[in-house]
Amino acid sequence: MGATRFHIPDLVGLCGPTFELHVNKNCHKVAQTSQTWAATAGFLTGDEIHTLDGLQLPLLASLCFPSSDINQLEMVTKIMILFLHWSKAFDPASAGAFERLWGQLLRETPSKWQKRFSAHLQEFRQARTSTQSCTDCEHYKTFSRSHTGIMMTFDFVEYTAGLRIPMEVHASLELRSIEQCAHDIIASAKDIASYNREQSTSTPHNLVAVIMKEKACTLECAIDTAEDMLKKSIESYLVVEKKLPSWTPEIDEDLHRYLQGLRDCIIGAIHWLYETDRYFGDKGEDVRKFGWVFLLAKRT
């Protein structure tokens, strides 16, 4: 008889004291307004509307963007609701809802930000509709940077903080390395947390599943390998963050705030993994404390 449970690490604990958690004071207000918007926007199914409360997306936005004002937080939360829907399908109704939000963003953001966000959105859409399979970890990591949508979340760090980081700085090897490390931390933690749910639905795009296939190893071995990869991404992030060069005082100040925003996204997203019912149901606190996850049966 196969194993009925497996053990995962304390994902928050792996981040150590370096990443400090904050929460936006407007969380509860935005939870109410975004729920109302989602229920009336016309693109969610009845089941999706029913599960929204447990998903805690307004909390995710509040943890990742603790300093944003209430209007910005509401915008980010709505976009996150769309992202979640798009993880299943792109459809005309959701496209219409996005266009209305995009019209507002066009009025509030510079053209360079719009160009960068649009590029990340296009990469996300292409990855989500791709039928390619990833057979090794390095290929999966590259593919994941488009597939997860996390890079668009980083774009909203600039939006909520009102930053003006030049395109050439964004294109620099140093800043791209920091962003990739930040992405890989969040994505690896999410894949460890989501493995149980995704194996039950035979979802192919999961780091743990890719490791098991590539190494022909057990689930626990794959979890240990994914944990090691997560630790290395955290270590790499802290190293490359210190090596970021100086530009001008104005750019350096914006970069300092941007890096703080990336840190907020990292620790906020990882804390949320235990708060949402998407991955551990109502057992998030127990899973973080003890680490045991009971395997779900395969859905037919």
Listed in order, strand segments (DSSP E) in the chain are: 5-7, 292-294
pLDDT in tens, 126-173: 999 888 888 899 999 999 999 999 999 999 999 999 999 999 999 999
pLDDT of residue 39 exceeding 70, the answer is yes
What does the domain layout of the chain look like in residue ranges? 20-108, 133-267
Alpha-carbon gap, residue 300 to 297, rounded angstroms: 9
CB atoms within 10 A of CB 105: 16
pLDDT score at 204? 83
pLDDT of residue 94 exceeding 70, the answer is yes
pLDDT score at 1? 46
Q: Which amino acid does the sequence have at 168?
A: E
CATH 1.10.600.10 for the 133-267 domain, yes or no: yes
pLDDT of residue 67 exceeding 80, the answer is yes
Q: Which residues, 6+ apart, have CB-to-CB distance to 225 below 8 Å? A: 211, 215, 217
pLDDT score at 2? 61
Can you tell me the mean pLDDT for 274-280?
97
pLDDT score at 203? 86
Question: Do residues 274 and 288 make contact, with C-beta atoms less than 8 angstroms apart?
Answer: yes
**CA-to-CA dists, residue 81 to 31, 111, 122, 184, 240, angstroms:** 11, 24, 18, 22, 32
pLDDT in tens, 173-191: 999 999 999 999 999 999 9
Question: Do residues 268 and 80 make contact, with C-beta atoms less than 8 angstroms apart?
Answer: no
Q: Which amino acid does the sequence have at 230?
A: L
